[in-house]
Chains A and B, each alone.
Chain A
Amino acid sequence: MALTGKPGAGLGVGPDDATAVGSDAPGNLPAALTLSQNAVSEPIVVGNSLWQSSDPLAYQGGLEPDVTHLREVEASGIARRDDARWSGVLEVIPTKADYVLDLIRANSLWPLLSGLACCAMEMMSSATSRNDMDRWGMFPFRASPRQADVLIVAGTLTTKMAGPLVRLWEQMPEPKWCVAMGDCTCSGGRYKRSYATIEGIDRVMPVDVYVPGCPPRPEGLIYGMMKLQQLVKDRRGHWPDRAVGPTVPEDV
């Protein structure tokens, strides 16, 4: 959107007398508060055709939120003409911030760079040239848990590593998701009978997506991450309801 020139000029919907005056200038009514004859009188309602949650209870069951300023704003006419941003056409977007935030979250999943064992090789492979996870917005592998959204547990989790891994999971800020990659993290896999491993990481932390395979191919991990994207959009993670905090037993 061009910021130079008269707002709305050339777009055919703005008022002719609109001037680019700051709304805080004394004596000047902000441009957004002046009503125009050319403005669209009814708000254009854009249906949510982007996704639908498979969980009927997600997003408060599709009900209208109790507390919203949408109707008041609509009645006051303040948001009718925000020419600079919406060209006067889209006056009110009847959506919820959660929808938009979930769309943003799902398309920018930042995994944590924490490979434990063999599966880390396939995780690296899925992040680099041949199978480029970045195409779906799953790329920047962060070395710090503070900057990561997704913990891809790639490899065998041993009892000694369980404490540090749960610590990493706790250090990640909410909302966060966990992908169990490989048989070892799903169920114990080929090390199920070992004295030193944890038989599935869901014994110590919540898991959103299981990707079986020993190891799964990079396509498998990408498929799992796409499932996670759908899950984020579906709001099936319900992260406020999830148990946070250490779930490791004391003797681990």
Chain B
Amino acid sequence: MTATPHVHPPQEVPSDDPRVELDAATGAFEPIPPYPPRTERESEFYTLGDGEMFINMGPQHPSTHGVLRIVLKLDGENVVDLDPVLGYLHRGVEKLCENADYHHSIAYLDPLEYISSLFCEWPGVLAFEKLLDVEVPRRAEYIRVLATELNRILSHSMFIGWMALDLGGLTPILYSLIERDEIAEMLAALTGQRLLFNYLRIGGVNGDLNHEFLSRLGDWMSRATTQIESNLTLLNENEIFVRRMRGLGTLDKETAFRMAVTGPNLRASGVPLDFRRAHPYSVFPELEFDIPTRDEGDCLARYLVRIDEIKQSLRIIDQCLENMPDGPIMAKLPRLLRPRPGRAYAAVEGPRGQYSAYVISDGTDQPFRMRIHDPSFVHLQSVGVLMPGHLIADAMAVMASLDPIMGGVDK
């Protein structure tokens, strides 16, 4: 863009007129940063080769799953290299948690990944419970598992819709949002909120199972399997979808380990690592479920693993409803929590991978340090390995198959 100076006559436009500023380029969407390169990597990336060009994707882009900016270096339609620019949704959650007391910081945790809020609360709550040596009642544990598995189905059904949306199909997201809304209403009956549940408490859960939740759940469970499978025939029997996903963005086992991939993305590469089995927490040792894996490691495998996980989650929900014990839903705890000084770490298996929290307590009623580990952020780094070499349209499919949520990436 050539810099043609727009000179406004001062007698016509007063200097405090905000419209004067309209002509000044703010540079917000310039792909090349305004500062000189700070690292070798930056100077290498921001030097264009022969026939290459930059394209700035985001921060407002429908298929970036939030506000992510990716500077793509393109050769024709092929992605040569990319540079993701993060921080457009950085809300300072960790610092806010350190300035809030232990109960209060749960409320800061669940907007992290807003379609799997319960999984963001859970590691924090588990870490606080480890600090406080609280024993959670068994009924509360079962309710936690029940609610989180519902949340996992919600998240995976949204993934299916988004995956198809980024490949250009608008219809499947309508069907997956039907599922999502049913589960959201169900969880709203249990927790009081449709999206940011804020349901788990230190030592239990916020409310007991109620009639509306159970009737909605029973109503949905009776037709969930057939309904989800009939929705999936839209995609699984779609020749275009399957052929396009097969062999796209293949992530082999070694690269997946090197990139610290966890969750369904890792299981799609053939590693049966599931924190519910590997480091059991809550009541998962008592529950029966399989760990679905695939060997291909491509986008189709990542998609199919999530579908299998939906079925396993339905199994777990069945068992939870069957074995739901009676009893209290909260442990006896003082209002003001002052855990002993120390450190605690807890990890749970979420719909995207390992959600974990690392808490340092200094004996006051506020965490001294709260470190939140989120799988979306970790998975986003493997985009840099997977995307180059693909076409732009396929690159978006690769990113959608990793299923990052920007709230968790930027915290």
Q: Give a binary string over A181-196; 1 marks a CB under 8 Å from any B CB, 0 the rest.
A: 0000000001101111
- Taking a contact as CB atoms under 8 Å apart, the answer to whether B96 and A191 are in contact is yes
Once A118-B195, A143-B62, A215-B196 are accepted as A-B contacts, the answer to whether A197 and B22 lie under 8 Å apart by CB is: no
19 contacts between A and B (CB under 8 A): A113-B62, A116-B66, A117-B66, A117-B111, A117-B407, A124-B173, A124-B177, A129-B178, A156-B111, A160-B87, A164-B88, A191-B92, A194-B95, A196-B92, A215-B194, A244-B22, A245-B18, A245-B20, A246-B18
- The verdict on A77 contacting chain B, using a C-beta distance below 8 Å, is no
Any A CB within 8 A of the CB of B236: no
> Is the beta-carbon distance between A125 and B180 smaller than 8 angstroms?
yes
Asked whether, in the complex, the Cβ of A115 is within 8 Å of the Cβ of B66, the reply is yes
CA distance in complex: A40, B111 (Å): 66
Q: Tell me the number of A-to-B contacts counted with CB atoms below 8 Å.
A: 117
Q: Is B184 an interface residue (CB 8 A)?
A: yes
Interface string of B375-411 (1 = CB under 8 A from A): 0000000000000000000000000000000110010
Give the distance in Å from the alpha carbon of A19 to the alpha carbon of B93 in the complex.
76
Give the residue of A114, A131, A163 whose beta carbon is less than 8 angstroms from that of B26. Answer: A163
**With the chains together, A244 CA to B20 CA distance in Å?**
10
Q: Is B277 an interface residue (CB 8 A)?
A: no
Q: Which of B28, B66, B99, B410 has the most A CB atoms < 10 Å from its CB? A: B28
Contacts of A214 on B, CB cut-off 8 Å? Answer: 196
Q: Which of A115, A116, A195, A245 contacts B22 (CB 8 A)?
A: A245
When each residue 73-94 of chain B gets 1 if its CB lies under 8 Å from chain A and 0 otherwise, what string results?
Answer: 0000000000000011111110
Assembly CA distance A179 to B329 (angstroms): 40
Q: Is B181 an interface residue (CB 8 A)?
A: yes
Smallest CB-CB separation from B20: which chain A residue?
A245
* Contacts A121-B115, A125-B177 known; 9 new A-B pairs at CB < 8 A: A117-B406, A117-B407, A118-B114, A120-B66, A122-B194, A161-B59, A167-B28, A196-B90, A245-B22
Does A130 make an interface contact (CB < 8 A)? yes
Q: Tell me if A244 and B91 are in contact (CB < 8 A).
A: no
Please pick, from A122, A129, A190, A243, the residue contacting B174 in the complex, using a CB distance under 8 A.
Answer: A129
CA–CA, A121 and B107, complex, Å? 18
> B67 in the interface, Cβ–Cβ < 8 Å?
yes
Report yes or no: A121 in contact with B195, Cβ–Cβ below 8 A: yes
- Chain B residues near A195: list those with CB within 8 A: 92, 95
Any A CB within 8 A of the CB of B335: no
The CA of A129 and the CA of B114, in the complex, are separated in Å by 20
Within the complex, what minimum Cβ distance (angstroms) separates B352 from chain A?
15
* Chain B, Cβ-Cβ closest to A197: B91
- Could you tell me if B184 and A158 are in contact, using CB atoms closer than 8 angstroms? no
User: In the assembly, what is the distance between CA of A156 and CA of B406, in Å?
Assistant: 12
B22 touches A161 (CB 8 A): no
Select one of A160, A167, A193, A217 contacting B90, CB under 8 A: A160
Contact A244 B29 (CB under 8 A): no
Q: Say if the beta carbon of A102 comes within 8 Å of chain B.
A: no
| A110 to B177 Cα, complex, angstroms | 21
CB distance from A125 to the nearest CB of B (A): 6
Query: Is A208 interfacial (CB 8 A cutoff)?
Result: no
A190 and B107 in contact, given A122-B194, A158-B90 (Cβ under 8 angstroms): yes
Residue contact B91 to A167, C-beta cutoff 8 Å:
no
